[in-house]
Every structure is written in structure tokens, then in C-alpha cells.
Chain A
Amino acid sequence: MSSPEPRVLTFREALREAMVEEMERDASIVLLGEEVGEYNGAYKVSEGMLKRFGERRVVDTPIAETGFAGVGIGAAMVGLRPIVEFMTWNFSLVAYDQIVNNAAKLRYMTNGQFTLAIVFRGPAGAAHALSAQHSQAVESLYAHVPGLKVVVPSTPGDGKGLLKAAIRDDNPVCFLESETMYALKGEVPGGEHVIPLGVAEVKRPGRDLTLVTWGKMIHMAMKAAEALAAEAIDVEILDLRTIRPLDRAAVLSSVRRTHRLLVVQEGWPFAGVAAEIVALATTEAFDELDAPPARITNLDVPMPFATNLEQAVLPSVPRVVEAARRLVGRTS
């Protein structure tokens, strides 16, 4: 049903196309969430899906994250393949018990008697001026947990391909989108487009240092890399795409080429994904490193509201440029 030719789609259109194609293919897939039906999605990702699939398969839920996440898990235990939309991942914290204690544990705790094909998806991270309770990057909270997969796409094409793979996966997958990226346009390959989970991609090849990041930080990192290119610092950007399972080989292979590592992570530094990548490089490729690995993350504070403060908290081009200069031994 998908166009055989590549097209330019917005991120939200690409995600919708992934869900629609998969739901056309597999009658066991349902979409559950707040405002996904009549309202056509809080961010219009599910626009038109109620009309297309009916209220049996596109289910508006009350504001009860624990309840509908749990319903998704129960339905998945007996063979449905639910997609559970969180209006934002901030609200997933209300359902953290369901995801961490139930979804993540089920397969192991039952010695493999049950598998759980369920996708939890929605926007995560900071948008603009939403302050402390609506601006959280949650990948570190979920990637910490064995039994969960965590996927963070950075482009419409990846969004479609990775979401299709997540829906087909027999494990619980946390799929983190971004409110600020829903209108982003990008080329989506034609035909059947599925990107396997756990495979990183070099978004920009470079010689001087490896910049590992994912999700919307990719776009900031690309700008930083352009600025650094003007200073003859050649940055390789590795898009993890999947946080867990982590493409360790891709990280190590890039670090072994460039001998320097900078990780850019939206979210808090303490015990975060960036720390995990740094640990990987230092334990597995210590002798290859020509400089101590560095991290650029949110400042270690809840998100403030004021725009200038918010910008200061988030990773930014100037912070990345400065860290890159330091890594290659240039002082500004």
C-alpha cells in the first residue's frame, strides 16, 4: 500500500504511515491512548486512524495511564499487539510500575512462557517552555531496565522504519518521539521500509572525533559539526537510533577510527545513557582513546520555565563546539 517511490513526509506522517501499514497487515494490532481517536491525536500522529480502523481498533482512553498501559500489557499477554500512546512520556511515569514491573519482567519471570509484543510510544524530552514536569527525556529511565527495548528515531524515514520494526518486535518497546520534530520533513523510502532495531547509523562520516547521539539531538549535532568543519575539525556523527539494545560494535568501531569520543544526551547526566557510552569506550577501547571522553547533557536540574534558562539547561551548539575543541586539543 505504501508508495513505491521515496517521498518527503513529516515525522508525524511517517509515524502514522508505519502504524497504518502495520494495522492493515495485522488485525491483532490496536492503538490505545488519550485523544488518539475522535480528537485525531494530541499531536495529530493518529489523524484519520479512527475513521480508517473504527473504534474497536483505535481506542480513546480516559486519563488513566496506569490503567490503559496495564490493559495493553494484559492484552499483549494473550496475543494482541497493542500500540499504547502516551500523550507525552512524562505521563508514562504514572505507568512506570506497569512498564517496569510488569511489561519488562514478564518474559523472564515466566521463564519464557509469555512474550509481550507491545509498543509504548509518544513524544519525550523538552519542547518549548513546558517547564519541569513536561520536559523530561526518559531514555535513561527506561534503558536501565532489562526486558525493555528503547528506540529514539531522528528522522521521518527512521521514524517509519523503526516504528514498523518496533511493532513487529516480540518485546516491549519504548518508542520515544519528539514534539519539536513532528513537523520536521524528510525523505521516506518507498516500498516496505523496516529498519532493524539495535543498528546505529553514521549520519556524517568524520576523522577527528566521534559524536554519539540520537533523536532530536542529531539535528543540533549536525549544526555543531558544520561549525566545527569551518575550524577544520572533522566530526563523525553516529546516530544510535536504538538505545537498548545498544549497537556497541558501531560505537567502538567509530571510536577506534577517530580516537576521541563526545556523547550528546538530552536529559540528566547522572547515571544516564551518555555515561553508559563513555563506560563502554573506556572499558573496551581504552588504548584507542587519545583524550578523555566527554559528555554534553542537560544541566543537572529540573527544567526551568524561562526561555533563557531552558536554553542554558539543554545541550546546545556552542556547548558541543566547545567540548569538541577541547577534545582535539584546541582551546578557544
Chain B
Amino acid sequence: MDAALLLGLYRQMTLCRRFEEAAARAYQQGKVRGFLHLCIGQEAVAVGAISAAAPTDYIVATYREHAHYLARTDDARGAMAELYGKATGCVGGRGGSMHLFDASKRFLGGWAIVGGHVPIAAGVAFASKYRDEPDVTLCFFGDGTANQGAFHEGLALASLWKLPVVFICENNMYAMGTPLYRTLAVEDVAIRARGYPIEAEIVNGDDVLEMREAVRHAVERTRKTKEPFFLEAKTYRFRGHSMSDPAKYRTREEVAEWMKRDPIFMLGERMGTLGIATPEQLAAVDEEVKAVVRDAVEFAESSPEPALETVEDHVES
């Protein structure tokens, strides 16, 4: 096992966790407004997947994308300032939590209509293929997307035209507050993909190494064959759908059971067992990312609001 790699993944997941905890506090203080969708508990999916892609591969994600953004950009300041709606936010206070973008890092959103970004990801891959470029597009979405028309059209076109996109379903078992068994007629979302046909695998999304390995394989294969691939990552979100959701549709016992499989905790345990990191070293990583998050919060709080005279900028040219 590569110690530096594991420590890096541990750090990234911890950064996402501490970042979102700070965002939740700021939300409760009224400093962050709008919708705030946390992925606490699901960090291994984004971190494992994005660590397996080349930095030039495109990332297209949803409104629950803080972890994806941080995993690709490491830009806690830009993300936190965006949540605060500040001029220094990664999109200048135009998008907020649901619309993080960084063109320079090929982080292509931040989309907030369920499923609407799936054909867009196929289009990005279409352009890569058209220009004969090696890049693969990673498209993330939740299990709730699996019944949306745009999802099916995106998969159908990606399969028909053999577009280099890796679809990654983050199956946290709830489409907002409705359990999957009440919204999906199949047990696994992967079954849907196979009908197109797109090769699909199911992976433990709470195991960052398994996630990374599955995506590494998928990206390599897709880069070579130019054909899409589908991964369904089984995971669990510890918090509600958004900050306004107390998640009363789940029992305490269910949540507690899943929290035993906390992806950060599990990786820490593994690193201890393998003799890669002591509890003290892991605590030091935590302290380091806490400082990064504190800095991001201070940066966001001290940043100016967007200038009023810019409100009509960037509508069109």
C-alpha cells in the first residue's frame, strides 16, 4: 500500500467533512443561505473517483458537489466564499452551494435540476471524441436520477455514439426523503444501465480504495475503448437531503448502523492496521484540514459582497 496515497485520500475526505460541518454551522448562523446539500458520509465516492481520474478528465456533478469540487480543485476558500455569496467565491456569488464551477480545472458544475446534466456530460464527451482528445468525462448523480428522462436520454446517446463518459451513480438509498424501494422498480440502478447496453458495476462507495480502483479501471477502459461505463456506488448520507430536512423518514438505528461504516473512520482504521499511520498522525491531518477550513471561513467572512454594478454582467456578450 502506498502510504502517501492513503494519507492523501484520508486528508481529502477529512477536508470535505470538516468543510461541510463548517458550512452547516454557518448555515445555522444565517451566514450561508439558500439550499445546502451535504454529502457527509458519502465522501469516499467523490474522493475515490476523482483521485483515479487524470486532472485533465472532466468532472460534471450535481448540487451535492462540495466534495467533488474540493477533490478536484482543493479550493476551500473559493468554495466557502461561494457558499457565503461573496465576490471571491468560485463563481463570484452567482451560483452558491449548488453551482460550483472551475473551468481551469475542468470542473464543470454544479447542476441543480436532477438529471439535466447527464446529457451535458455526454456532450462534453462528444466533444472530446470529436476532437480525438484522450479525455474522459466523469458524470456524478444520485439514485433519484434513475427515473428521470434526461438520465435515460443521456445514457442512450452515450451508448449509441460510444462516448467516453463514466457515469457514477451515488446511491444513498433515498431520493430526497423517499426510500428507493418506493421509487425504483429495480433493486440496483446498474440494471438500468445494462439495458442500453452500458457495462455496469456495483461498488462499495464507502470504501475509498475500492471506489478508486473501480473508477481507475473504468476510466482506463473508457479512455481506450471510447465507450461509456457505469458505476453504482452504494453509500449513505448521514444528514438530511438538505439543511431543512430533519430526515425523520429514517430510524436512528438505521443511521447509527451506517455510521459504523463511516468511510473516513474505516480508512483510518485500515491505515492503523497496516501500520501506515498512527492515531496521532491522523489527528494531525485533522488539525491541518481544520485550519484550512478555518482559513476558508475567515476568507469568506472577510470577503466583500459582489459589487452591485456587476449584477448584469455575463448574461450574454
Contacts and interface: CB of A to CB of B under 8 A. Distances in A.
Interface of A: 30, 56, 59, 61-62, 64, 66-80, 97-98, 101-102, 107-115, 146-147, 149, 169-171, 245
B157 A61 contact: yes
Contacts of A146: 315-316
Nearest to A110: B101
Given A61-B157, A109-B99, A110-B101, A74 B315 contact: no
B120 interface: yes
B192 to A, nearest CB: 15
A296 to B, nearest CB: 30
Interface in B140-174: 149-150, 153-154, 156-157, 160-161
Contacts of B93: 111
A296 B291 CA distance: 65
Contacts of A62: 156-157, 160
B315 A108 contact: yes
Interface in B85-109: 91-95, 99, 101-103, 108-109
B314 A67 contact: no
B123 to A, nearest CB: 2
Given A74-B122, A75-B124, A109-B101, 4 more contacts: A59-B161, A113-B102, A114-B101, A147-B315
B156 A97 contact: no
Contacts of B109: 110
B122 A71 contact: yes
7 contacts: A68-B153, A71-B157, A73-B123, A78-B58, A78-B128, A113-B91, A113-B101
B123 A72 contact: yes
B186 interface: no
Given A74-B127, A102-B120, A108-B314, A66 B91 contact: no
A86 to B, nearest CB: 15
Interface stretch (B4-12, B64-72, B111-119): B111-119
B120 A77 contact: yes
Contacts of B91: 109-111, 113
B317 interface: yes
Contact of B119 (A30, A70, A112): A70
A75 B126 contact: yes
Interface string B276-317: 000000000000000000000000000000000000011111
B121 interface: yes
B153 A66 contact: yes
A111 B96 CA distance: 11
A74 B314 contact: no
A65 B161 CA distance: 15
Contacts of A115: 317
B157 A67 contact: yes
B87 to A, nearest CB: 9
B103 A110 contact: yes
B119 A74 contact: yes
A67 B156 contact: yes
A59 B122 CA distance: 14
Contacts of B153: 64, 66-68, 70
A111 B120 contact: no
B101 A69 contact: no
Contact of A67 (B92, B94, B119, B128): B119
Contacts of B103: 110, 113-114
B94 A77 contact: no
Most buried by B among A97, A102, A111: A111
Contacts of A147: 315-316
B127 to A, nearest CB: 4
A286 B265 CA distance: 70
Contacts of A102: 111, 113, 116-117, 120
A75 B314 contact: no
Contacts of B160: 62
B61 to A, nearest CB: 13
A112 B120 contact: no
A245 B124 CA distance: 28
A101 B116 contact: yes
Contacts of A110: 91, 94-95, 99, 101, 103, 109, 314
B228 to A, nearest CB: 13
Contacts of B58: 78
Contact of B150 (A97, A111, A149, A170): A97
Nearest to B311: A108
Nearest to B94: A111
A92 B58 CA distance: 27
A68 B157 contact: yes
A69 B103 CA distance: 21
A110 B161 CA distance: 29
B316 A171 contact: yes
Nearest to A169: B317
A170 B317 contact: yes
B101 A71 contact: no
A98 B115 CA distance: 10
